[in-house]
Structure 1
Amino acid sequence: MKKTSLNDIAVELGVSKTLVSLVLNGKGREHRISEKVCKKVIAKAKELNYQPNQIAKGLRTGKTNTIGLIIADIANPFFGKLGREIENEASKHGYRVMFCSSDEKAEKSKQQIEVLQQGLVDGFIISPPTGSEEQILKLEEAKIPYVLVDRFFPEIDSNYIVVDNFLAAYDATQHLIKEGYKKIACVTINDKLVNMSQRLEGYKKALADANIEVAESRIKTLPFSHEKDDVLLAVTELAGGAEKADAVLFTTSKVGVMGLECIHSLGLQVPGNLAVVSFDDPDAYRISNPPVTAIAQPLKEIGSRSVKILMDLMNKRKGKKNPQQVMLKTNFVERSSSKK
C-alpha cells in the first residue's frame, strides 16, 4: 500500500506542497496561512492517514525527538525495567526511545552509536560496556548529549547516574554476617565493569571488617554471556566440599534467578542449606519460596533523572564543564531467604 506523501495532500486540496509542509510542521500561523486552510490541511492529512517521515524530518530540522538508549542486555529484568522507566519519562517530554542491546560487547555498542548518530536521535542514554571508553570520548568531542547509567568510566569526566554499589554490597554482606553466616560466597560477572568491581570490593571489605577470611574459592566470576550451566557449576562447587558456603551474594538478578533455580535443582533448601541475597528486585523474588532478600535499585529515579539531565544537555541548560554525576542509595529489602 502506497504511503501518503505531502504531495498527495497538496494535490487533493489544490494547494502547494510547501503550504502543506508548513501547516503540518506547525508553522502555518507564522506564515499567515488562514486558520480555515490549516484546518482543511490537517483534516485531509488525517483522512489520508498521513505519517511523517521522522528520519527525513530529523535530517531537515536537526531534531528527531528521539533518544537512543543503549543497554547491556534487554533480557535482564533490571535493564528491562530501567528501559521502561526511561521510556515513560521521555514520553512526558514528547520524546520517543530507540532501544539497543549491546550484549556487553564494545564493538556492538560502537556500531549502534554510529548508526544512531546518523540523524536518528538527539542524544544518548548509555550503559557502557567494558572497552567502550573511546566511544564515549568521541561523543564528548562531537559535543553530542549523553548520560551514562548503571556504570561509568572513572577516568572520563562525564554525566552519569549510578548507585553506591560498594556500600550496597557491604551492607548486604554485613547483614548475612549479623545473621550468623561465616562462609559467605559471592557469584558475580565480569569484574572489569566498574559496578561489578565495586560490588565485589564491598563484599570483601565487609568480610575483612568482621575478621572473616576472604576465601577466593568462594568467589565465582562468570563471563557476561553466562549460561545456566555456568551458574550450576558455580553453585555446585559452592555447595560441596569441606569449605562449602552457608550463604551467597548474587551481584545481578539474572545470575540470582538462575542461581536459585540451580540451588533447588540440587535439592538444597534456602536458607537452610544456603542463604541468599541478590542485587536488584525482580517480581520473581517477591513470590519465590521463600521470598528473596534483595538490594533494590531506585529504577524510577534513575530513569527520571537520566532523562532530565539529557534534556538539560539537549536544550543547553547545563554546560559540559560541570557534568552532573549522581550517586543514589539502594534499598535493602530483607526477606526470608537470608534468615538464620
Structure 2
Amino acid sequence: MSKPARHVLPQERTSKNMKKTSLNDIAERLGVSKTLVSLVLNGRGKEHRISEEVCRKVIELAKELNYQPNQIAKGLRTGKTNTIGLIIADIANPFFGKLGREIENEASKHGYRVMFCSSDEKAEKSKQQIGMLMQGQVDGFIISPPTGSEAQIQELQKRKIPYVLVDRYFPQIESSYIVVDNFQASYDATMHLAKQGYRRIACLSTQSNLINMNQRLEGYKSALADSGLEVLEERIKTVSFTHEKNDILLAIKQLLQEEKERADAILFTTSKIGIMGLECIHSLGVKIPDDVAVVSFDDPDAYRISNPTITAIAQPLTEIGSQSVKVLMELMSPSKEKSKPQKITLKTNFIVRRSSER
C-alpha cells in the first residue's frame, strides 16, 4: 500500500526552490555586463564613469533580489573581506563579553563585521582559532592573548598580518596594544581600603604569568607597603583560570575562618572571581562590609544591583573597543606608512560603593 502524498507547504516549496541571487542574475535582468554590476556593488561605479541612473538601478535590484555577496570569494579577488577576527580570553567573563560588544559596535561604523572566538585562556585553542580565521580571509586581528601564545603573535608579525592586542601583551614582543594601568588601579583600590581603616587586606587572583595579573598583584603589594601594612603571602590566594567554584570557596574559607588573622577586606582581581567570591562569602553567612569589605576589578551589572553594592575598578570598555579598532584600521590601511607599534595605556575609574564602607 503506497503512502499518501504529503502535502507540501508553500513555505517549504519556496525554500527548496530558492536560488541564491548572483551577479549574473542582476546583469541579465538589467541587460548589462556582470563586470558592470560588480563595479557598482563594490562602490567603483563613479570611478569607471558608470551613470548615476545605472548605478541606482543596479543597487535597487540587488536589494530587491536580496543579493548577498560571497565574502570569501570577494576576499580572494580583492584581498579584503571587511572582516575582523576577534579572539577574546573568556566569553564567560562579563568583562570580555562587554568588550566584544564594544568592538563589534565600533567595527560596524567602519563597515566591518567581527568574527568572535573565545580561547578559554588556552594557547592551543587560540592557535587553532587564528588558523581558522586566517582561512576565512579576515583582514586583521584583535586578540586578548593567553599565556604561552607568544609564538602565535610572532607568526602574525612574520606574515605581516595586522593585529592589535587588548587587555594584556607580551613585553618581549613589539606589538600595538590597548591596556589599562593595572598597577595603579590595584594600588588605588588597596590604598582606599587602607584609608578606610582595614588592616588585614587580602587578594584573590589567578595563577598566571600574564602581565596584567602580575601588575595588579604588584599594585596591591605596593599599596600595603606604602600604608605600613605587612605583605603576607598567606593573604594572597590564587586560583586557576578555570575558576572552579570549589577552589574559590576554599580560598575564601582560608581567608575568613582564621580567627586571629582573618582578612577584614578582599581585593578580587577579576569580575569573574569577584562574582563567584561574593557567592561564596554569602554562603558562609559572612556579612559585607560588616565582617569583610570587598573591592573588585571590573564593573558588571551585578555589582550595581548587589546588596550591598560593590566597590569596583571600572575599565573604560568603550574606549578600549574604539581605540583597538582605530589602531587596527590604521594598520590595515594600504596607504599607511609603517610606524612604531602604538602602545596605549588607559586610566580606570574607581567607583566607591557600600561594600568597602566603614
Preserved CA contact (<8 Å) 2:288 2:294: yes
Offset at residue 289 of structure 1 (A): 0.8
Offset at residue 26 of structure 1 (A): 2.5
CA distance in 2, matches of 1:182, 1:37: 76
Preserved CA contact (<8 Å) 2:147 2:208: no
Pick aligned residue for 2:57 from 24, 40, 52: 40
Preserved CA contact (<8 Å) 1:59 1:119: no
CA distance in 1, matches of 2:75, 2:226: 56
Structure 1 residues 224 and 59: CA distance shift in structure 2, 3 A: same
Aligned-pair RMSD on alpha carbons? Answer: 1.6
The amino acid of 1:86's aligned partner reads I
Offset at residue 316 of structure 1 (A): 4.8
Matched, 1:103 2:106: no
Offset at residue 189 of structure 1 (A): 1.0
CA deviation map 1:38-68 (0-9, x unaligned): 3333232222211111111112111111111
Structure 1 residues 112 and 31: CA distance shift in structure 2, 3 A: same
Structure 1 stretches of 4+ with a deviation exceeding 6 A read none
The amino acid of 1:332's aligned partner reads F
Preserved CA contact (<8 Å) 1:62 1:119: no
Offset at residue 319 of structure 1 (A): 4.7
Q: Partner of 2:262 in structure 1?
A: 244
The amino acid of 2:115's aligned partner reads M
CA deviation map 1:128-178 (0-9, x unaligned): 110111111111111111111100001111111111111111111111111
CA distance in 1, matches of 2:45, 2:187: 60
Preserved CA contact (<8 Å) 1:86 1:304: yes
Q: How does 1:316-327 map to 2 (within 5 A)?
A: 316=334, 319-327=337-345
Q: Partner of 2:22 in structure 1?
A: 5
The amino acid of 1:67's aligned partner reads I
CA deviation map 1:248-287 (0-9, x unaligned): 0000011101111111111110011110000011111111
Q: How does 1:115-126 map to 2 (within 5 A)?
A: 115-126=132-143
Preserved CA contact (<8 Å) 1:72 1:104: yes
Structure 1 residues 329 and 31: CA distance shift in structure 2, 3 A: closer
Q: Partner of 1:86 in structure 2?
A: 103
Pick aligned residue for 2:327 from 309, 313, 317: 309
Pick aligned residue for 2:222 from 199, 205, 218: 205
CA deviation map 1:26-45 (0-9, x unaligned): 23333344444333332322
Pick aligned residue for 2:279 from 261, 264, 273: 261
CA distance in 2, matches of 1:40, 1:211: 75
Matched, 1:178 2:195: yes
CA distance in 2, matches of 1:97, 1:112: 14
Matched, 1:194 2:206: no
Structure 1 residues 318 and 274: CA distance shift in structure 2, 3 A: farther
CA distance in 2, matches of 1:162, 1:125: 13
Aligned length: 340
Q: Secondary structure at the match of 1:181?
A: coil
Structure 1 residues 32 and 167: CA distance shift in structure 2, 3 A: closer
Offset at residue 182 of structure 1 (A): 1.3
Q: Identity rate of aligned residues, in percent?
A: 75
The amino acid of 2:286's aligned partner reads L
The amino acid of 1:175's aligned partner reads H
Moved more, 3-12 or 242-251: 3-12
Matched, 1:293 2:343: no
Offset at residue 335 of structure 1 (A): 0.9
Pick aligned residue for 2:148 from 110, 117, 131: 131
Q: Secondary structure at the match of 1:2?
A: coil
Pick aligned residue for 1:280 from 286, 298, 302: 298
Structure 1 residues 108 and 37: CA distance shift in structure 2, 3 A: same
Preserved CA contact (<8 Å) 1:9 1:20: yes
CA deviation map 1:298-326 (0-9, x unaligned): 11111111111111111156555411111
Structure 2: runs of 5+ lacking an equivalent = 1-17
Structure 1: runs of 5+ lacking an equivalent = none
Moved more, 214-223 or 13-22: 13-22
Pick aligned residue for 1:73 from 90, 95, 109: 90
Matched, 1:334 2:356: no
The amino acid of 1:336's aligned partner reads R
Matched, 1:221 2:249: no
CA distance in 2, matches of 1:28, 1:328: 42
CA distance in 1, matches of 2:354, 2:144: 32
Q: Partner of 1:61 in structure 2?
A: 78
CA distance in 2, matches of 1:147, 1:160: 5
CA distance in 1, matches of 2:255, 2:194: 17
Pick aligned residue for 1:49 from 55, 66, 70: 66
The amino acid of 2:224's aligned partner reads L
